C-alpha cells in the first residue's frame, strides 16, 4: 500500500513536470493523487498521525469517489467533445456520495485490517447504490472511449488507452471476486490495488499521445543557440 502510494504520487508529479499544463494534464494529476491518497488512507486505516480509523476511512472513500467522475471528464476532454450534461451528471452523483461518506454520521461503520488488503464497512443502505454509481460510470467511460476513438483519429490511441486502463483493473477485480466471493467486502481495496496498472497506463500511453511535453532546459539552450 505504501509503495503504491509513493508510485502513484511520483507519477502524478512526473506528469505535471513532463507535460504541458492542459485540462487533460490536470485531470490526470488529480486522478493519480486520488488513487495515491486512497492507498495512504488504506495504509493508515488502523489509525495514525492523530486521525482515527473512521477519519482515514472517510478520506479513503472521498478520494476514490472522485475517480468515476474524473474519468468521464477525462474521456470527454480526450475526445474533444462538448458534453456538459454528461460531465455535470457524473460530478453531481459524485458530490452526493462524497457529502454522504465525508459528513454523514454512521456512513463509515468500521474497518478490518488483513495482510494484503483492508475492508471498509460502510452503511449497508447505500453500498449497493454506490456499486451502481462506480461500475456504471466506469462502464460508460469504457464504452465512450471505444466509440469516440473510432471518430477521432488524432486521439484514437489516447482514447483506446483509457479503455484499456479501465479494463486492467475492472476485469481482474471482478475475476478476483468471482473466484473468492468473500472478497467483495474489500472491493475498494482490491480495485485500487489493481488500479496502479491504470495509473501506469495513464502516464505511459494516454498522456504521451494527447499532450505535448514541456521543453527541457537542454531544448531551450539548443533553441537559443540556433538563433545566435
* CA nearest to 78, candidates 191, 179, 165, 189: 165
pLDDT tens track for 201-227: 999 999 998 888 876 544 544 454 455
Total domains present in the chain: 1
For residues 89, 93, 95 and 98, what is the CA-based torsion angle, rounded to 10 degrees? -160
pTM of the full predicted structure?
0.85
User: Residue 92 is part of which domain span?
Assistant: 2-227
Give pLDDT, residue 221.
Answer: 45
Distance, CA of 65 to CA of 91 (rounded, Å): 10
Please list, in sequence order, all residues whose beta carbon lies within 8 angstroms of the beta carbon of residue 214, skipping any fewer than 6 positions away. Answer: 17, 18, 19, 20
- Per-residue pLDDT tens, the chain, 228 aa: give them: 788 889 999 999 999 999 999 999 999 999 999 999 988 888 777 666 767 777 877 888 889 899 999 999 999 999 999 899 999 999 999 999 898 888 877 666 655 555 444 555 565 667 778 888 888 999 999 999 999 998 888 889 999 999 998 888 777 767 666 665 554 554 556 566 677 888 999 999 999 988 888 765 445 444 544 555
CATH number at residue 175: 1.20.1070
pLDDT tens track for 1-11: 788 889 999 99
Amino acid at each position: 500500500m505504501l509503495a503504491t502510494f509513493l508510485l502513484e504520487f511520483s507519477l502524478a508529479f512526473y506528469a505535471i513536470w513532463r507535460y504541458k499544463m492542459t485540462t487533460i494534464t490536470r485531470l490526470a494529476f488529480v486522478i493519480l493523487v486520488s488513487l495515491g491518497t486512497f492507498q495512504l488512507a488504506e495504509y493508515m486505516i488502523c489509525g495514525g498521525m492523530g486521525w482515527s480509523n473512521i477519519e482515514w476511512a472517510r478520506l479513503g472513500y472521498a478520494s476514490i469517489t472522485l475517480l468515476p467522475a474524473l474519468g468521464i471528464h477525462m474521456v470527454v476532454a480526450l475526445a474533444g467533445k462538448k458534453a456538459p450534461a454528461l460531465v455535470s451528471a457524473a460530478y453531481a452523483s459524485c458530490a452526493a456520495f462524497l457529502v454522504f461518506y465525508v459528513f454523514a454520521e454512521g456512513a463509515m461503520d468500521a474497518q478490518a485490517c488483513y495482510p494484503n488488503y483492508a475492508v471498509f464497512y460502510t452503511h449497508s443502505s447505500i453500498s449497493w447504490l454506490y456499486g451502481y454509481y462506480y461500475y456504471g460510470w466506469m462502464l460508460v467511460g469504457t464504452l465512450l472511449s471505444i466509440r469516440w476513438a473510432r471518430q477521432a483519429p488524432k486521439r484514437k490511441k489516447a482514447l483506446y488507452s483509457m479503455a484499456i486502463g479501465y479494463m486492467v483493473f475492472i476485469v481482474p477485480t471482478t475475476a478476483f471476486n468471482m473466484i473468492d466471493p468473500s472478497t467483495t467486502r474489500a472491493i475498494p481495496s482490491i480495485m485500487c490495488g489493481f488500479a496502479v496498472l491504470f495509473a501506469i497506463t495513464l502516464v505511459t500511453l494516454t498522456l504521451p499521445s494527447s499532450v505535448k511535453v514541456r521543453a527541457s532546459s537542454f531544448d531551450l539552450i539548443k533553441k537559443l543557440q540556433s538563433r545566435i
